[in-house]
Amino acid sequence: MKIAVAQLNYIVGDFDKNTETIIQQIDKAKQLKTDLIVFSELSVCGYPPLDFLENKDFIEKSNQSILKIAKQCKGITAIVGAPKINNNPKGKKLFNSAFVLSDGVIQNSINKTLLPTYDIFDEYRYFEPNTEFKSIQILDKKIALTICEDLWDNQPVENSFAQTKLYTKSPLGELKDDYDLVINIAASPFSISQEDIREQVLIDNAKKYKKPIVYVNQAAANTELIFDGNSMIINAEGEITHQLKTFEEDFYLFDSENLNTKQNIKQKKENTAQLYQALKLGLADYFRKMGFKKAVLGLSGGIDSALVAAIAVDALGKENVVGILMPSKFSSEHSITDAEDLAKNLGIKHHIIPIKDIVNSFDNSMFEVFKGTEFGIAEENIQARSRGVILMAYSNKFGFILLNTSNKSEAAVGYSTLYGDMNGGLSILGDVYKTDVFKLCHYINREKEIIPHNTIVKPPSAELRPDQKDSDSLPDYDTLDTILRLYIEKKDSLQEIVNKGFDIDTVKKTILMVNRNEYKRFQSPPILRVSTKAFGLGRRMPLVAKYDF
């Protein structure tokens, strides 16, 4: 049986475009004499549809699209993912389903059993879990058709104080070996460690059940979530025999009788390179799918804004990116020249709008109210907010989308200003720690200097008061980021972190800053997710709480 894997980029809710894209791939597969073509999870409606699934009209459009696709499936079978109405009066309204289309109609469907409800996933909010297990027949092959999490039944529960396994059922185990081939349609988001974990899950399943696996993911970004593609074929011995492209659409045709033939096994990219490509795709798809064309950002001469500018130029084109330099009376001369050198290296248009007079006007207006007090955070934040107003004014006037440049280290400890440097339509680095910002800048400069050397080596500073440095109020970033990773990603307790060799006062201070700045992060723009625990959808913490240690 000739099987095609279609790794595509879908838009949530754009049924016309998604349907057109799927049909184009079906027509391509037909010309290649393909027997079966496979698309990813919820491909018809796009993933994740979230509360659109509660709208009757959304489900009706999905159903109409499936029927339209089915009409094109003559002489070929297609597997597509879409929501399906649950006709049982009890339970959730929908199933997350894989539809089998051939001879112009819907021939069969399989529902998802394991519904992830952790981190960014909330599938049990919408879907009823499957309770009926069966394989499907396509030509001479019996196929175990599964949907993403259905192969993750054996994953361990990290940081658990009770359970060791997340699920009690194994969909493949329920089929009692009554199949020849496993097909898994997925929408598996990227994180910096996900590729290795996912590969191991698939390899373990192939070895355990001694069956080959065809895994089909999407290559796309939808708001915060980035999908890396990396669809693959694994033989019954647990060997990857083919892997599709990373962060790109791809199409692969193979014969089910040649599953042991290894082709195009790509070398894994280093983590920093993967991270860069993920951020680039996240930014590019956000603009493309929202219909945005141009971006503006503040250029401070610092490393964060330099990195965002470089990614934006790569994702959107230099003609679509504008930088604004807004020096204050505390800005060093080299910060201005570093920002100008960056703009020149990138080939982007830039403007210099000094904020000294603007800040002075605020100071004069607030003089009577502030009289008798010392210069402090309020005055520092006036500078940040003045810059935020200028950037938003430019955005409004010319229709440019403001890119936020705050990193995860700053967001974690509240080292940012509401309605100032937290402004923006999208946060590019909000899930990237400061230590990784440095690594990304070195990656960008791997062939030639794009980000000025001085920008990378000078001590980080917000430049909101004389001779200010981040290290005045924060631990060094190597220490800070390690503590933050242990607390946020690993969910380690204070004592567990201290036991790993960190000073107890530093750990206490860091945890307090993280806990007390949740209200700021609640008002952040959407953050591109590249870690296992990003701020936003995947980390839900109460704003009003008192839980420190």
Sheet containing 136-138, strands listed edge to edge, beginning at the edge strand earlier in sequence: 136-138, 141-147, 181-185, 213-216, 232-234, 240-243
Cα 421 to Cα 388: distance, rounded to the nearest angstrom: 6
- Rounded CA Rg of the chain: 26
- In the residue annotation, 41 being an active-site residue is answered as yes
- In the residue annotation, 30 being an active-site residue is answered as no
SS3 295: strand
What are the structure tokens assigned to 32, written together?
């290649």
The answer for residues whose C-beta is within 8 angstroms of residue 333's C-beta and 6 or more apart is none
Q: Which of 41, 123, 128, 463 is catalytic?
A: 41
What are the structure tokens assigned to 516, written together?
């007390």
> What is the DSSP pairing of strand 136-138 with strand 141-147?
antiparallel
- In the residue annotation, 92 being an active-site residue is answered as no
**Does residue 48 have a cis peptide bond before it, meaning omega lies within 30 degrees of 0?**
yes
Cα 480 to Cα 492: distance, rounded to the nearest angstrom: 14
Signed CA dihedral, 316, 342, 192, 473: sign only: negative
List the one residue out of 318, 319, 302, 325 whose CA is nearest residue 390.
325
Which letter does DSSP use for residue 422 in this model? T
Q: What is the enclosing helix (H) or strand (E) of 360? A: helix 356-365
> What is the DSSP pairing of strand 77-85 with strand 36-38?
parallel
Query: Do 213 and 173 contact (CB within 8 A), yes or no?
Result: no
Signed CA dihedral, 132, 135, 139, 140: sign only: negative
List the one residue out of 99, 84, 85, 97 whose CA is nearest residue 138.
99
Q: Which of 112, 280, 289, 520 is catalytic?
A: 112
Residue 404: half-sphere exposure toward Cβ, Cα within 13 Å? 29
| Cα torsion through 28, 31, 37, 41, rounded to 10 | 10
Beta strands in 299-370 (DSSP E): 321-325, 349-352
Query: Do 218 and 9 contact (CB within 8 A), yes or no?
Result: yes
SS3 142: strand
Q: Which of 123, 148, 408, 463 is catalytic?
A: 148
Q: Give the residue numbers marked as catalytic.
A: 41, 112, 148
